[in-house]
Structure 1
Amino acid sequence: MQTKAIKMATFMGLVLTLVFACSPQENTENLTAMNESETVASKQAVVFIAGYDKGESTYYKDAKQHFEGLHYKIVDNAFSLQEIIAWLNKNHNEQDYSEIHIVNKGNSKKGLSLETTIHGELLSQQSLLNCLKENKLPKLKSVLAADSKLVFHTSELGKNKQLLQVLKQTFTANYQPKVFATQHATLFNGQFQKHYLADVFYGYYPTAQSPGNIDLSKQFIRKYPLEDIHWLNAIRTKEEGEPGEAFSYKFNIPVRWEIEFSDDEDLPSLADANEIMDWIDDNEKYSNIIKDMGIKVEYFRWKAYKSGQKVIIKGKTTAVCILKPMMQRNNPLSYVRTEFDNQRYYTKL
């Protein structure tokens, strides 16, 4: 069988007041202050809103409003790593980037929804390594300072240190940036906090075949037995009613494979979902794809049909995501601060 498969580091306008002082010590202090101000003025920061909202989602809109409120430079028309690097090179203007922020949806397993190249593959460790090997990405010019920071606002990306290491290499120019990403969910425009972190928990069922909230809550109980969360209430709650309250939302995850066979006799019939799941279990390549997603094969709704020498298999699962805002241990009414240099909540490379 063959298969084909940066709060914008404020750009300070310098108001130079000439002070005629007789003391050499005072002159030295004034000169030092001027040099420090010039150093700050020689740096810049930027936030890439590297995605767009679909349906009722407002994630990117909320993130943009948050960073605009902090007076960052916003770029909202670069949706690939290629475009981000090209923008940084073009807009450098002899100013080092002190912070580069990239806002993009994704997770620790699959990577980012950011494209590698324009209309290219989505960004994962392997796709990025392939791009670097084939020289498909522009080289970042000497645009960094010794203390430049590269911050990814992507939920749970901090768990994937291998991908972060490749990203660090990709953004290395005259200096290597310090790279930050949280191991938790990152959210914007909350009911009580504009930007906060949350613990995240997942449950699944075949799309359009919901088992009901009670049975779904039992799945969470079995999967996360040590968590002190009222799962049924969390499933029923769609936003925080009070600070720190767990809530949920749903989204679908599709799978689509086109498998070409060289011989008609090898074409499987796959008449129903059970036959499809059995076939997947018997084929290591596709079984591993499902295992790597961390979702049981039975949590997908499966369909298959033939097209010439191909069999097209489609699967779709509904993920129920429960978010528990992270609160300070010594003050349960205060949210954990989103300070990306805090290694308790952010991975730093």
Structure 2
Amino acid sequence: MKQNILKVGTVMGLLLLIGVFTSCNDTKKENKNQELGNIAKLDEVIEKSVVEYRNPVVFITGNDKGNSHFYDSARVYFEEKNYDVINGKYSIEEIITWMNSNASENPYGEIHIVNNNNPFKAMNLETVVNGGKVTTEALQKAIDQGRLPLLKSNVITNDTKIIFHTNELASNSDLVNTLKSAFITEDKIPQVVASPYYNVFGGEFSNHYLAQPYYVFYPTANSPGKVDLSKEIAKKYPEEKDIAWYDALNNERERYVGEPYTVQYSIPVNLELDYHNSDNEIPHFVMQEEIMDFIAGEENLMKEVQKTNIPVEKFRWTYIVKNNQLIITGKASALCVLKPLVKPYGELEHVKPDPNNKRLYAMK
């Protein structure tokens, strides 16, 4: 792939020099030689400003489980675009190491990273091999400790786009900025591109499309029922008038282009307090409300719950005491209604997920 990057200021400066030299009252021979010399310099500038990029590379960072076909469908989608697809790289460390090992005289213009993540948990991607999952804190710690390899400067340019095909990543600006830090070289800073929408691969009507998510939560195993949940989600999103919420909550797939449907997530929270060197007695609880009141009174525990952006009452809480440790576990279920993005005019079809479209993707 070739992309012409013209150094406009330098080129215009040289053109002005040519004009100045050709306007001098020297001999025609001197003028001619000077013109030829400046034209040669101009050609050299233009030649250096032309970057020949490598074919885009795509990292498939996971494997499908159960009935999911996310990764297989993404693999087929990018193979049909004749991109170079790389499998078996499940960490930031492995991705950077692979790019360094396969560096050439031509940098990458596009690097795609496909990851099917739960928006309420860490990314389904490791920081380092067999390390913790990618969160802002975990990735920054790996960077600070020097556990990630430094990307070679000839692998990318400042115009290289690292495009993440994940769910709602752009909504987490801190994580996007930290991911960008992981791919900075000694003298190059690439652009990181992500979408605030859901990425769906292998749909019935499109191989790849984006969808707007809407959420309603309830304590796992204690659903109030679809009727009450449809009323709750309608109240939560009063500006959305086009979705029949009850029908959407009962629909598991897109049966026609643009039809809203629902996917389900489980969101666990684990909270621990060590009473080994504490003068306080380990509390015992009888009811859910007692556990929630206790969490609300412990600042560090409450912060962990707030990281999920889910109200504490939407979890089903249990606890155990083990070796002078109080271990509290919360489980929430999320029903996510996905509304595929479709064109507002013309034939009914999905909006093309173009990473250059600023309405669909954010760039850092």
Residue in structure 2 matched with residue 205 of structure 1 by the alignment: 218
Unmatched 5+ stretches in structure 2:
3-42
Residue in structure 2 matched with residue 186 of structure 1 by the alignment: 199
Higher strand proportion = 1
* Structure with more relative contact order (C-alpha pairs < 8 Å, separation 6 or more): 1
Residue in structure 2 matched with residue 15 of structure 1 by the alignment: none
Matched to 1:197, the amino acid is L
Within 5 Å, give how 1:221-232 maps onto structure 2: 221-228=234-241, 229-232=243-246
* TM-score (structure 2 length as normaliser): 0.82
Which whole-Å CA distance do the structure 1 matches of 2:217 and 2:51 have between them? 51
1:298 aligns with 2:313: yes
Deviation track 1:126-155 (CA, whole Å, cap 9, x = no partner) reads: 222111111110000121134311101111
RMSD, matched Cα: 2.2
- Secondary structure of the structure 2 residue equivalent to 1:214: helix
1:51 aligns with 2:65: no
Deviation track 1:88-126 (CA, whole Å, cap 9, x = no partner) reads: 111113331121111113366655221111121211222
Matched to 1:240, the amino acid is E
- Using a 3 Å threshold, how does the CA distance of structure 1 residues 157 and 317 change in structure 2: closer, same or farther? same
Deviates more, 1:262-271 or 1:111-120: 262-271
Residue in structure 2 matched with residue 3 of structure 1 by the alignment: none
- Secondary structure of the structure 2 residue equivalent to 1:63: helix
- Secondary structure of the structure 2 residue equivalent to 1:304: strand
CA contact (8 A) 2:158 2:191 kept: no
**Percent of aligned positions that are identical:** 37
Matched to 2:353, the amino acid is T
Residue in structure 2 matched with residue 162 of structure 1 by the alignment: 174
Residue in structure 1 matched with residue 14 of structure 2 by the alignment: none
Deviation track 1:152-172 (CA, whole Å, cap 9, x = no partner) reads: 111111122222222222212
- Secondary structure of the structure 1 residue equivalent to 2:55: strand
- Secondary structure of the structure 2 residue equivalent to 1:179: strand
1:66 aligns with 2:77: yes
CA contact (8 A) 1:107 1:157 kept: no
Which whole-Å CA distance do the structure 2 matches of 1:105 and 1:157 have between them? 11
Deviation track 1:263-307 (CA, whole Å, cap 9, x = no partner) reads: 374211123322211111111111122222111111111110111
- How big is the shift at 1:227? 0.6
Residue-pair matches, total: 317
- How big is the shift at 1:330? 2.3
CA contact (8 A) 2:120 2:267 kept: no
Which whole-Å CA distance do the structure 1 matches of 2:178 and 2:346 have between them? 37
Deviation track 1:40-79 (CA, whole Å, cap 9, x = no partner) reads: 4x52321111122222222212211211221211112111
* TM-score (structure 1 length as normaliser): 0.85
Which whole-Å CA distance do the structure 1 matches of 2:82 and 2:285 have between them? 56
Residue in structure 1 matched with residue 10 of structure 2 by the alignment: none
CA contact (8 A) 1:44 1:95 kept: no
Which whole-Å CA distance do the structure 2 matches of 1:277 and 1:330 have between them? 49
1:335 aligns with 2:350: yes
1:172 aligns with 2:184: yes
Matched to 2:69, the amino acid is T
Q: 1:150 aligns with which of 159, 162, 168?
A: 162
Matched to 1:53, the amino acid is D
Residue in structure 2 matched with residue 260 of structure 1 by the alignment: 274
Q: 1:196 aligns with which of 200, 206, 209?
A: 209
Unmatched 5+ stretches in structure 1:
1-8, 11-30
CA contact (8 A) 1:257 1:313 kept: yes
1:288 aligns with 2:303: yes
